[in-house]
Amino acid sequence: NAGVTQTPKFRVLKTGQSMTLLCAQDMNHEYMYWYRQDPGMGLRLIHYSVGEGTTAKGEVPDGYNVSRLKKQNFLLGLESAAPSQTSVYFCASSPGGYNEQFFGPGTRLTVL
């Protein structure tokens, strides 16, 4: 099993450009999450999904959109990138309940 994979691993954008980050999991997990990690701030939840076709806002959702059209995929979109969105983005999945979350390797995004 590949677990949780993220595409791409690195990306550089100019201000105002758009992009989509793809997260895929092969563990048949119901729950999926997008976080951003910034120095000294830990991980902050952007959006999450509790099942196919559902999405919900997390702690820092502004400037991002998500979609969960298939159970195994969770997409994070930036419609108009800003330098403040420079960060490392992590996707995670979980079976739910009191089980732990499984994390992908991350995407390092730089917005110039």
Partner 1 sequence: AQSVTQLGSHVSVSEGALVLLRCNYSSSVPPYLFWYVQYPNQGLQLLLKYTTGATLVKGINGFEAEFKKSETSFHLTKPSAHMSDAAEYFCAVSGGHNFGNEKLTFGTGTRLTIIP
Residue 41 CA to residue 4 CA, distance in Å, equals 23
- Which region, judged by CB under 8 A, interacts with partner 1, from 12-20, 21-29, 76-84, 98-106? 98-106
Report the residue from 81, 94, 109, 111 that binds partner 1 according to the rule CB under 8 A: 94
Binding mask 42-61 for partner 1 (x = CB under 8 A): xxxx--x-x-------x---
Q: With binding defined as CB under 8 A, does residue 4 bind partner 1?
A: yes
Name the one range near partner 1 by CB under 8 A: 13-21, 61-69, 72-80, 87-95. 87-95
Residue ranges binding partner 1 (CB under 8 A): 4, 31, 33, 40-45, 48, 50, 58, 90, 92, 94, 96-98, 100-106
